[in-house]
Amino acid sequence: MKIKVINPNTTESMTATIAAAARAVAAPGTEIIPATSRCGAVSIEGHYDEAMSIVGLVDAINEEPAADAYVIACFGDPGLLAAREIATGPVLGIAEAAMHAASFIATGFSIVTTLERTRVIAEHLVRNYGMEHHCRGVRATDIPVLELENPTSNCRTLILEECERAIVEDKAGAIVLGCAGMADLNSFLEEKLGVPVIDGVTAAVKFAEALVSLGLRTAKRGDLAYPLHKPYKGTLSAYAPPDRTNSKTPLSRARG
Ligand code: 5HY
């Protein structure tokens, strides 16, 4: 199977970190196809960056090669439902995947993310995904996202210290890493902390494999049906949803 792992920011080095983490856990029959958005912010650090990242995400989903499933490798899960409208295969956001994984192995988890101003985005996702019962806290290290790409930074120490506070103060049984750029920190943190540390990139890849192996695709009736055909004007005119009146979504179930 093919799983396209999309970095909706435009920083290739972060895509490389994400792809390495995805490939490290992918099953032998899974091909990871990394994709970096070609338009938008170099890092996604707020509501505006997220909103503007969705066009690049849509392009990455629509361009060849097609995939059996898609992962949105950004902790805000930007454009997740829009992506599910246009995709046939499963689409997973790393935040949703990480929270569900954490809820299976601990009665309470805390999220450790980057800038303070993006904490509220993670808090909104906790509520949207019905995770209030499991999430013990959302903490920010106030690290700019691209600082995670700086090998001389003290990010590891700052993230470790915030994780330690989450374990003591929140009584967190597990930690969810709140940025795709932290995908290479799992082993380091788990060794130091002695609790499960969940990165959403790897969680999403394994959940995607499971869904595809079960022959499950995104529901194409109701709100996740393909977008309604209509004209779009101006800069986005090329994004007008096509007329799919006569097209049928294949209902064949994937083998495997
Ligand atoms: C991410 N931003 O995973 C988020 C993290 C954040 O460019 N990739 C980004 O802080 O929202």
DSSP code string of 21-42:
HHHHH--TT-EEEEEE-SSS-S
> Looking at residue 229, what is its pLDDT?
97
- Give the separation between CA 76 and CA 100, rounded to whole angstroms: 15
Domain total for the chain? 2
82-120 confidence digits (pLDDT tens): 999 999 999 999 999 999 999 999 999 999 999 999 999
pTM of the model: 0.95
Ligand 1 geometric centre to CA of 76 (Å): 7
> Looking at residue 246, what is its pLDDT?
76
Same domain, 210 and 142: no
Spell out where 96-180 has E strands.
Answer: 109-113, 135-140, 174-178
Structural domain range at position 245: 2-93+205-255
Same domain, 146 and 127: yes
130-169 confidence digits (pLDDT tens): 999 999 999 999 999 999 999 899 999 999 999 999 999 9
Ligand 1 geometric centre to CA of 180 (Å): 6
178-206 confidence digits (pLDDT tens): 999 999 999 999 999 999 999 999 999 99
Average pLDDT over residues 214-236: 97
Helix (H, G, I), strand (E, B) or coil at 49: helix
Same domain, 163 and 232: no
Query: Ligand 1 test: best mutation among 45, 54, 142, 201, most atoms within 8 Å of CB?
Result: 45
Same domain, 224 and 159: no
> Looking at residue 248, what is its pLDDT?
62
20-41 confidence digits (pLDDT tens): 999 999 999 999 999 999 999 9
Domain closes at, from 173, 199, 225: 199
Same domain, 174 and 109: yes
> Looking at residue 254, what is its pLDDT?
38
Report the CATH number at residue 150.
3.40.50.12500
Same domain, 113 and 131: yes
Same domain, 81 and 175: no
Same domain, 109 and 188: yes
Q: Is the CB of 74 under 6 A from ligand 1?
A: yes
Same domain, 146 and 188: yes
Tally of CB atoms within 10 A around 104:
11
Same domain, 211 and 187: no
Q: Is the CB of 145 under 6 A from ligand 1?
A: yes
Find tokens 């101006």 and name the residue: 234
3-state secondary structure 176-191: EEECHHHCCCHHHHHH
